[in-house]
Amino acid sequence: MKNILVINSGSSSLKFQLISMPSEEVLASGLVERIGLEMGKLHYKSAGYSTSEEMEIKDHSVALTEVTRHLMSSDYGVIQDPADIPAIGHRVVHGGDKFSDTIIINDQVKATIKELFSLAPLHNPPNLNGIEVAEKIFPNAKQVGVFDTAFHQSIPERANRFAIPNEFYDKHKIQSYGFHGTSHKYVSEKANELLGKKESKLITVHLGNGCSITAVKNGKSYDHSLGFGPVNGLIMGTRSGDIDQSVIFYMVEHLGYSAQEVSDILHHKSGMLGLTGYSDLRDIEEQAAKGNRECQLALDMNAYRIKKYIGAYAATMNGLDALIFTAGIGENSDVIRKLVCDNMDYLGIELNDETNSLRSKENRTISKESSKVKVMVIPTNEELEIAKQTFQML
């Protein structure tokens, strides 16, 4: 048995899970939030124990030190010494075209992650910070990088290139990279297990505050909605998704917005928030049920965009075996799932309204027995996927 610590380091937060492998038992988990602010908060949970504590957490080093203190507590801890953790799996958002698989982190890997800061300025810097902090606190543990973009390295060139002059690809590596790869990989593998297939044509739909959709052919990413950055594709909580480039030029040239202001609008003020004034889908669904036209239109637009991608991906793969919903909205919103699946019988999708309306944390099929395409809800578990890949590196 090996204890794998999984770390997801954000700009002001640090999520963690300690997982015993290969049994996949979660020994402890938690979140440190508001790092660097006046007062931080640590949430910690282990078997039979949970706590939330407010304290000053000036940086990620303090955050991980506090996590380690809880993990080693004589009262509720789960390890006795940092050496009880032989490996730490780190989520790294952007690996560019450099990393197509999980890798043991060394100085060269860290330098490459730093080179990619410009492609993921909100994610890669804190990801690297988490790695460097973990190296100091757990000097004997192998540090392992699991990249969001790695799963999408299999996308064929005809799908990941942009029709712009070749020099932008040759010199600057401007192409579609894709994200949420750990989630799409986990749920597609789980779907194949449930279907009893090794060769399959799947579409995985990751719907949270950030959203993406992936065509998965025979276990490999075949096409994906997020591109060079994480704002393309589906309509998201605050991100616009696909937009006509002419709109951006018009905003800059005729409305007086700077490029940075337009970027801020598309990333933080658009999507469901821009359409409704609400970013939480539960609020939008509640308002739509009360007759709010803007909220109902936003739901319809959201589902319509997903339908378009499903049709396109089914066409490129020449078929579809299963449609999988995952992540916070995908797992919990029967409203969105129904809007997406209604009037899709041409593709062989027949939703079972009764099973769709059930709330569960379990893997489940929500299509009718007669449905040619299985519709499934599979809760994602990115931390477990990172632990599995890290354990394999050992």
pLDDT for residue 148: 85
The answer to whether residues 229 and 342 belong to one domain is yes
Question: Residue positions in the annotated binding site for Mg(2+)?
Answer: 8, 382
Same domain, 361 and 223: yes
* 252: three-class secondary structure by DSSP: helix
Does 344 reside within a domain? yes
* Same domain membership, residue 247 and residue 135: no
Residues 210 and 343 both lie in one domain: yes
Q: Does residue 353 have an active-site annotation?
A: no
Domain identity same for 351 and 248:
yes
Residues 250, 320: one domain?
yes
- Is residue 126 in a domain? yes
Report pLDDT for 95: 84
pLDDT in tens for each of the 394 residues of the chain?
Answer: 789 999 888 767 788 999 999 999 999 999 888 888 778 889 999 988 888 888 888 888 888 888 888 998 888 888 888 888 999 999 888 887 778 788 899 999 999 888 888 777 777 888 888 888 888 888 899 999 998 888 999 999 999 999 999 999 998 889 999 989 989 999 999 999 999 988 999 999 999 888 999 999 999 999 999 998 888 999 999 899 999 999 999 999 999 999 999 999 998 899 999 999 998 899 999 999 999 999 999 999 999 999 999 999 999 999 999 999 999 899 999 999 999 999 999 999 999 999 999 888 899 999 999 999 999 999 998 889 899 999 988 8
225 and 92 within one domain: no
Tokens of 351: 């939703």
Predicted TM-score (pTM) of this structure: 0.88
345 shares its domain with 231:
yes
**Per the domain annotation, does 55 fall within a domain?**
yes
Residue 162, in any domain of the structure: no
The CB density around residue 357, as the number of other CB atoms within 10 Å, is 12
Cα separation, 171 vs 165, whole angstroms: 11
Annotation: binding site for substrate: 91
* Annotated binding residues: 8, 15, 91, 206-210, 280-282, 328-332, 382
Write down the pLDDT at residue 62: 87
Asked if residue 74 belongs to a domain, the reply is yes
Residue 36 backbone dihedrals phi, psi, to 5 degrees: 85, -5
Provide the residue type at 353 as one letter: D
- Is 82 within 8 Å of 68 (Cβ atoms)? yes
- The Cα 254–Cα 123 span in angstroms is 32
Residue 155 is assigned to a structural domain of this protein? no
Q: Are residues 130 and 204 in the same domain?
A: no
Exposure of 48 by Cβ count < 10 A (0-12 exposed, 13-18 middle, 19+ buried)?
A: exposed
- CB of 350 within 8 A of CB of 219? no
**The predicted structure's pLDDT at residue 229:** 84
* Residue 103 lies inside a defined structural domain of this protein: yes
- Please tell me the distance from the alpha carbon of residue 322 to that of residue 189, in angstroms, as a whole number: 12
By the 8 A CB rule, do 133 and 64 touch?
yes
Check which CATH number belongs to the domain holding 43 and give it.
3.30.420.40
Q: How far is it, in rounded angstroms, from Cα 332 to Cα 325?
A: 9
Does 133 share its domain with 202?
no
Catalytic residue among 75, 84, 148, 300: 148
In the chain, alpha helices (H): 60-71, 107-115, 124-137, 157-160, 166-172, 181-195, 245-253, 259-268, 271-276, 281-289, 293-317, 327-332, 334-341, 353-356, 382-393
**Do 341 and 220 belong to one domain?**
yes
Enclosing domain of residue 7: 2-147
Statement to judge: residues 257 and 122 lie in one domain: no
Per the annotation, where are the binding residues for ATP? 15, 206-210, 280-282, 328-332
How many domains in the chain?
A: 2
Annotate 102-139 with DSSP letters as a single string: -EE--HHHHHHHHHGGGGSTTTHHHHHHHHHHHHHHST
